[in-house]
Structure 1
Amino acid sequence: IRYKNAIANSPQLSIIRDRIERLRISTLRGQFADNGDWCENPSQPAVICGTVDMIGSRLLFSGYGIGRSKRPLHAAFLGQDALLIHDEAHLEPAFQTLITTIEKQQLDNEPIVPWPKLKVMELTATTKSRESFTLDNSDYANKIVAQRMNSTKRLFLHELKDAKKPAKELFERALAFKTSEQAILIFAQSVEAVLEIQSALEKAKIPQESIRTLTGTIRGKERDALAEHPTFARFLPNPPGDATKGTVYLVCTSAGEVGVNISADHLICDLTTFESMSQRFGRVNRFGVDQFGKQVEDCEVHVFHPGPAHWDDKDPLTRPRQRTLELLRELEAKGSASPKALSELDETLRANAFAPTPMILPATDMLFDAWALTTITGTLPGRPPVKPYLRGLTELEIPETHFAWRDDVQLLDHHSVNDKDRAELLLAYPLLTQELLREPSYRAVKHLDAIGKRHPEHHAWLVRDDGNVEQVTLDFFTIKDNQERINGITVVLDPRSGGLNAGGMLDGGSESASDASKTADRCRSDGEGTVPPDFHEVFSFLIPSEDEDEDPVIHRWFTRRNTGQVNSRKPVLLASHVADVERELEKILSGLSLGDSLNRCLKIAALFHDDGKKRQLFQSVLGNRNAASVWWAKSGRKSGTWLKEKYRHEFGSLSELPTAAELGITDDERELVLHLIAAHHGRARPHFPSDETFDPHQSQEASSELAMTVPQRFGRLQRRYGRWGLAYLESLLRAADWSASANPNPEGEIQE
């Protein structure tokens, strides 16, 4: 991202500016979070950065935090014509196995299609493999490589006096650097130890602003803010001038081992397995030189380990940790824990000191088939949650609970709102990473008990992986029999209930909390204030007033259209919208090589995809009072009228499609056209729900017969094009439809 910004602002680089500007960038969090640019035109290059959960769940048609209708599109564009680079792959062997299984499954078992399938690349600096890519002597001739690989790291091993309480001794060693004016990094295996060390440092008169913590249990918003904190800045390669002065401390769990480019002056930590220790060592004197380019001569690494009589033989990590300790003794004897010294250790001994590989569940054809059925909501036999397939199962598996705070909990606390409405809101306006924190469920229970006793009448939402929501009062969490029900779910709390401390961690004693759902790209409105013109409505709900003399309030949730697009604020003519879709589709197809048959099918689908909007019922929902004489495609920015669409126009469009002979195509091609039309809003995978299988232009019997053909057609076409392949074809039309809706031809707008 920094490179892209530099190119955009440097006159000397103007020659490549036009090309780089075509590159779409999206990340899980930060400036480019979920901007959707990569979905806009799949023929253009894009870079999408995300976590195992974000990328993996989307690949399996189960995208966390996105609406069900978008899941096939995300699976398609991530799983076809894509290179998936898995960084730090040694940390997630289950995910690496899964993506290579998908790659092989597409290559061996899915039909040949005229576009590239998924390609996988594994990247890791810590591998068990003997065939890994390594440095050779010519690489060490490079000055930068030599500086980093031979960086000074003097290793000191310390036997713990009390193996059950490592925090005290880690703190004492850290305190010895109190007057050093340096950046001290501390690693501990547990959150409890991190918090204990933080508290001890504060009691030792270390200024609070000179201490930062980094754990996996911090809410995304506060974790993002940590990267901008002046104390954290001291650990960056080139600390800015306003970085905190004096001695500073960063206390971390394993969350600080990867994904952060930090370099401390000294390191203090407890003992873990070899691959983890290697990552920790990589966060101290990382570059071999200071910010002025001078070689660092003094860098200490202190590792605290249990004594011979204090190992837990039942812990599956005990043997790998003992083997790691033996390797560290070799390094201590050599006087160096530099990257070069680590690489010279025996490969077999290193591999045996890794943490045990989690149990990797095999992803089978039947599972891929089940996950691809995105319109079947709720629990489906034979369709398990995807998380165990992304992460694997370990003996040390500890259930976790995710937490978020939303004003929506209070807003939708009304008898007219049901749990299905709440679930629909979260699909349309999903929980973002910046809103979420995670906590081991056994600890979360204690915090929820405290919050529940303080505000028993407040409400919370229990959100399951399948998207279903249950509203409960907080006294629910004070009942012991209910406490296991929080394992593996997300709890959405009312900010008035508190439970979040200043550091962004769950804290049952805290009276405060905040809603972190609003971003520059989304907002909510109750009619007060203005909504930016490039925002579009994704969800709305009418809350009746308790006072008969007061008007009901319409609450609306908005998100920004994709970058560079403008959403029409006026109604759009159907014929104009169809022409816009054809135009956008042509742009996409011009950058691909699908062949004449598929191009023809997509173009015909674009021409007829919205014919089902030619219904008086649908036009009434849009607010068109002149239906039949003029057809609308879009209503523009909604006014005060609030109606829910029950009739699905894409279902109605199916009966409007001419025969194959009339279209001049084969029966097989018409089959694909029908499916593309049916699926262009995420339905028809494999069916339309029963309450959506009606059409005011035909009898219910005819509608039911038509509905029965939809899943049969889906099955045939999925066998023909593959799971990700069929979703890819659907998504080309959907991308064109989205772009056309967001950027309509002004001549097609109705002047009211």
Structure 2
Amino acid sequence: MTPQQTAITAGLTLPEFGSFFAALNDGNRPFGWQQELAEFVIRNGRWPEAIVAPTGSGKSAVLDVHVFAVAVTHAPDWSGPRVPRRLWHVVGRRALVDDMAERAQHHARALSNALTEGEDGVLGRAARILHSLSPWTETVLGVTTLRGGIAPERGWQDDPLSCQIICATPDMAGSRLLFRGYGSSVGMRPREAGLLAHDSVLVVDEAHLNRQLLTTAQRVSALAAESPLAAHVQALQVVETTATPAALPSDSAAIGVALDDIRAGRIEPELSQRLTRPKPVTLHTDGPWLSGQTGAAATSAAREIMAMVQDAVKAGQTPVGVVVNRVASALAVHDLLQKGAPELRVQLIVGPRRRWEQTTDRSKGAPDVYVATQAIEVGLDLDFAALITDLAPGAALAQRAGRVNRRGLRDMGPVHVLCPPGEKVTEKFALPYRPSDLEASATWLDRRAADPNGIAPTAILADPAPAEAPSRPVFSEIEPSRAALFSRTSERLVVEPDLTLWLRDGLDPDADVTVVGRRLPRVGEGVDDGIDIGESIALLTIAPPQPHEAYPSTITRLAPMLRGRRSPSVMFIRREDGWEAVSPSDGVPQLRPGETIVVPHDWAATMSAVIVPEGTSEVGDVLDPSPEDPALGATHAVGTQGRSVAVTTGRPLAGVADHLRQSLLEVAAALQDEDEALTVRSVRHALQDRGQWETWRLYLGIPEQDSELEARIAVVAGGRSSEAPEQASWVLFSIRHPAVSDDAELSVTSVSQRVFLADHQRDVAGRARESGLRAGLPEGMLQLLELAGLHHDDGKRDPRFQDWLTQGKGSTEPLAKSGHARLPRRQKSFLPCKWRHEQLSAAMLCEAVPGVDPLIVRLVGTSHGLGRGVFPMNSDELLHPSAHDSLRAAATELFDVGQWDAWVERTDVEWGIWGVAWLEALLRSADVSISKEGR
């Protein structure tokens, strides 16, 4: 390391990692291997190929290392290589995705506070550097969660320069890498692929569970590195974390904790305690075994497990962990413990459980018992005093045992392994595993049970657990031709590609979807099943589902329930083009990975906040204030959205008299008739006249005469109820400003005032140039981006488009954006269906700049993520009848003769499909950021 790299004028030096880590972790210093990892990343400007460390060694510190390394290597006077700005932490357990996201959010809050308070310590200095990466945003550290099919959190796609942590499941990350992001819009997909393939590091946690994703990511990394862009913006770096160094290629750069270091005492005493304290194994070969049992046998097994739990609690072994192989088993044990041992605090941890209940459980104090499935196997920061677990494959048992005496503060941590009945494991009892894997695990456990150390991490390093038999004979490598096909995102294929072959270790096509319960408006009062389809879609559009509302499920598990006799009366599926209403009685359409399904809140299909066939509890609606959270301002929401409360026609509202609910809906309708703005103030005045405001004030949790909070609450109402025309169909109170975030809306509206086209294009060109400069691009590429920004909206000059923006009233000069928050009349009233201004912009650029670089034309034409392949219109359909001959000739050459198609293919070859996508993302982010500023 050079002297310039050691002493940074901005105030951060590599040795300060320990202080940085301690500031984020309650004063705890990093372990030696964590410090070594930080040094490796900063010195080399890249991550090692592998992190090898036993369970409990602190692998979650990759988040701390990432943030510190970005701050150091992106300081203004740093002369060495820079590390990627985005870290993707990928793991196949929803619970761990949430756990890592919470850790990242903690770090983000600490850094943001340090910046706000002007701290001079290591956090303050790091925060100032991170904030300077993208100074036109408020971001210090961006955190995003992508998992379980909920409408994916947005924002990271619009911010390519900030330091980001993105926590995701393998399907959600992998599908984005392959231009087919589950739950993403067509226009968003190329941007996501480009930002993942460049200036990102992908950490695949417990990589032995995700070998296919690892293979695909490494292949994409190699392909992205062939782009000329990679000389300036690094191609994707891929890191696998594992506890089995023997599985790594001999030339891999790996950092972590080795068995020799542990035995020789070359690690910290605290870490040594974690890894060496005994975890003796007791095998229970005569039961109890719950998986696969029914009737009396299942009841008896659950009672035996409860008795074992009670014995452990009496022995002072709390908390005790109970880990079973199936969700149904976990629900049965959880239900029995709640009824049979009410004195115990019991927390349920299963993958398909709603985050709302998980948050509520954590607020009730430390549990005595955790009942879980495989959801706890990877990385969750739990510390059991004792473990009762079903027999599972060896690697899974090693992970489960990693939650026992996790911090090494106890002398030992007993592990009780429940084995299935009979001498030979049958498939009935083995599912979801193979009988052969359980038998191999049982043989290994016989050895471990004879060793007093049992399955302590050091014992497992010395006697590794048997690997599961691979689910497929070979892993697939994505071919360039296949990737190129995937990248043509705006072409509708006859059959959408199944990504299973490139994302999953098994070939089971099942995938995640999400269910959300909502109180949906009826067509009138007293109409039980008459859900107002149009107004329900309007409500879902203005208040889309958030992660904490989600019931995670899978297509295989959910589809039969939606078709069964107890199916919901109607449901709404979030598709690329918006919400689609479906009546299960007419047949359920094919569900796609990552989709969100909204059902009426009174659908009875849950047990312990898990959707299961035997469920009898309502799915509910978490928009309703609850006794634990009565205030609108006390948000449980995760991400950028705040707390919302909806009041709808035809459905009673808990805690509010029915005549008051109807009165509020009438007031909203009356205010609309009077053309008066809907605000808390206007609603308050109207309800005060009726003597009803105090009830609503208390219900919404608004302090008396709190004008500041009132100003922060947006009030939005729906249209008239068809059978109760004096009422609005719904009213939404939302503690967030209704900022336009939809790409289509951002393109044509401004929340402040009319924006002239020349001003907007000039501002976008300047922002694109500055973004490219901050990203490290050379002058030639900066000029390219600047020119693209200067012409990206030329097509808005079309007279028909200008008529739409002004609603036929005209303007003194061409506009880029209307002054309306929303355009009251749809585009089709003025323009042909499927007409796109950026298609016309590409033709106008060719006319205005003869011999223009095809890449610039490509970036202009794809500036909204469309045109990646073909545009739907030919030149005659695209152009206004008054278009002059030179423009018509340029459009004909591009879209009739086929020059556009040729240039798309040419730029893909020259720059690589992920390189072009990254450039598109940078240009689009410049447009979005300027638009959000009202310019």
TM-score interval for Structure 1 and Structure 2 normalised by the shorter chain: 0.7 to 0.9
1-side partners of 2:401 and 2:795: how far apart? 62
Could you tell me the percent identity over the aligned residues?
Answer: 22
CA displacement, residues 235-286 of structure 1 (integer Å, 9 cap, x when unaligned)? xxxxxxxxx5xxx111001011114111111110011011111110000100
Secondary structure at the aligned position of 1:201 is classed as helix
Contact 1:68 1:427 (8 Å CA) reproduced: no
1:340 to 458, 475, 488: 458
Letter in 2 for 1:317: R
2:843 to 646, 655, 676: 655
Contact 2:512 2:553 (8 Å CA) reproduced: yes
Secondary structure at the aligned position of 1:176 is classed as helix
User: 1:513 aligns to what?
Assistant: 620
Query: 1:742 offset after TM fit, Å?
Result: 1.0
1-side partners of 2:854 and 2:542: how far apart? 30
User: 2:202 aligns to what?
Assistant: 84
CA displacement, residues 294-339 of structure 1 (integer Å, 9 cap, x when unaligned)? xx12421111113552412696622222222222222221112211
User: 1:118 aligns to what?
Assistant: 236
User: 1:185 aligns to what?
Assistant: 321
Contact 1:675 1:714 (8 Å CA) reproduced: yes
- With 623-632 and 584-593 compared, the bigger mean Cα shift is at 623-632
2-side partners of 1:199 and 1:120: how far apart? 42
1:331 to 448, 451, 470: 448
Query: 1:587 offset after TM fit, Å?
Result: 1.9
User: 2:336 aligns to what?
Assistant: 200
- With 400-409 and 526-535 compared, the bigger mean Cα shift is at 526-535
Q: Name the TM-score, length of structure 2 as normaliser.
A: 0.65
Secondary structure at the aligned position of 2:322 is classed as strand
1:94 to 212, 215, 224: 212
Contact 1:152 1:285 (8 Å CA) reproduced: no
2-side partners of 1:559 and 1:159: how far apart? 60
1:598 to 775, 781, 785: 781
User: 1:135 aligns to what?
Assistant: 258
1-side partners of 2:577 and 2:505: how far apart? 22
Matches within 5 A, 1:7-22: 7=111, 8-9=113-114, 12-13=121-122, 14-22=124-132
- With 521-530 and 266-275 compared, the bigger mean Cα shift is at 521-530
Matched, 1:152 2:278: yes
Contact 1:358 1:392 (8 Å CA) reproduced: yes
Query: 1:148 offset after TM fit, Å?
Result: 0.9
Q: 1:225 to 1:715 in 2, by over 3 A?
A: farther
Matched, 1:493 2:628: no
User: 1:299 aligns to what?
Assistant: 413
CA displacement, residues 26-54 of structure 1 (integer Å, 9 cap, x when unaligned)? 22079xx9775544443444333322122
Q: 1:157 to 1:105 in 2, by over 3 A?
A: same
Contact 2:518 2:599 (8 Å CA) reproduced: yes
Matched, 1:472 2:595: no
Matched pairs, number: 692
- With 248-257 and 113-122 compared, the bigger mean Cα shift is at 113-122
Query: 1:552 offset after TM fit, Å?
Result: 10
User: 2:517 aligns to what?
Assistant: 405
User: 1:216 aligns to what?
Assistant: 351
2-side partners of 1:672 and 1:191: how far apart? 52
Secondary structure at the aligned position of 2:611 is classed as coil
Across the aligned residues of Structure 1 and Structure 2, the Cα RMSD in angstroms comes to 4.3
Query: 1:652 offset after TM fit, Å?
Result: 2.2
Query: 1:439 offset after TM fit, Å?
Result: 3.6
The unaligned stretches of length 5 or more in structure 2 are 1-103, 133-139, 294-300, 524-529, 624-635, 647-667, 681-709
1-side partners of 2:451 and 2:542: how far apart? 58
Contact 1:460 1:494 (8 Å CA) reproduced: yes
2-side partners of 1:144 and 1:592: how far apart? 41
Contact 2:795 2:841 (8 Å CA) reproduced: yes
Matches within 5 A, 1:403-482: 403-406=515-518, 432-439=546-553, 444=558, 447-448=561-562, 452=566, 458-462=569-573, 471-476=581-586
Letter in 2 for 1:12: G
Matches within 5 A, 1:300-699: 300-306=414-420, 309-312=423-426, 317-336=434-453, 337-345=455-463, 347=464, 350=465, 352-358=466-472, 360-377=475-492, 379-380=493-494, 384-394=497-507, 402-406=514-518, 432-439=546-553, 444=558, 447-448=561-562, 452=566, 458-462=569-573, 471-476=581-586, 490=595, 492-499=597-604, 501=606, 503-506=608-611, 508-514=615-621, 520-521=640-641, 529-530=678-679, 546=722, 560=739, 568-623=751-806, 627=810, 629-638=812-821, 641-644=824-827, 646=831, 647-657=835-845, 659=847, 663=849, 667=851, 669-690=852-873, 694-696=878-880, 697-698=882-883
Secondary structure at the aligned position of 2:375 is classed as helix
Contact 2:533 2:581 (8 Å CA) reproduced: no
Letter in 1 for 2:866: R
1-side partners of 2:854 and 2:166: how far apart? 33
User: 2:903 aligns to what?
Assistant: 713
1-side partners of 2:713 and 2:907: how far apart? 36
Letter in 2 for 1:368: A
Q: 1:533 to 1:375 in 2, by over 3 A?
A: farther
2:376 to 247, 256, 269: 256
Q: 1:45 to 1:461 in 2, by over 3 A?
A: closer
1:170 to 298, 301, 305: 305
CA displacement, residues 403-440 of structure 1 (integer Å, 9 cap, x when unaligned)? 233457979966879xxx97x99899865543433345
CA displacement, residues 614-653 of structure 1 (integer Å, 9 cap, x when unaligned)? 1332122222666462222112442672323644221222
1-side partners of 2:176 and 2:244: how far apart? 27
Secondary structure at the aligned position of 2:314 is classed as coil
Contact 1:84 1:120 (8 Å CA) reproduced: yes
Contact 1:167 1:194 (8 Å CA) reproduced: no
Q: 1:111 to 1:36 in 2, by over 3 A?
A: closer
Contact 1:61 1:75 (8 Å CA) reproduced: yes
Q: 1:414 to 1:687 in 2, by over 3 A?
A: farther
2-side partners of 1:704 and 1:128: how far apart? 60
Contact 1:535 1:561 (8 Å CA) reproduced: no
Secondary structure at the aligned position of 1:288 is classed as coil
User: 1:237 aligns to what?
Assistant: none
Secondary structure at the aligned position of 2:919 is classed as helix
2-side partners of 1:75 and 1:138: how far apart? 40
Letter in 1 for 2:621: S
Letter in 2 for 1:42: P
2-side partners of 1:62 and 1:168: how far apart? 46
Contact 2:750 2:931 (8 Å CA) reproduced: yes
Q: 1:736 to 1:541 in 2, by over 3 A?
A: farther
Contact 2:157 2:925 (8 Å CA) reproduced: yes
- With 433-442 and 114-123 compared, the bigger mean Cα shift is at 433-442
Query: 1:172 offset after TM fit, Å?
Result: 2.9
Q: 1:512 to 1:361 in 2, by over 3 A?
A: same
User: 1:229 aligns to what?
Assistant: 363
Secondary structure at the aligned position of 1:356 is classed as coil
1-side partners of 2:232 and 2:910: how far apart? 13
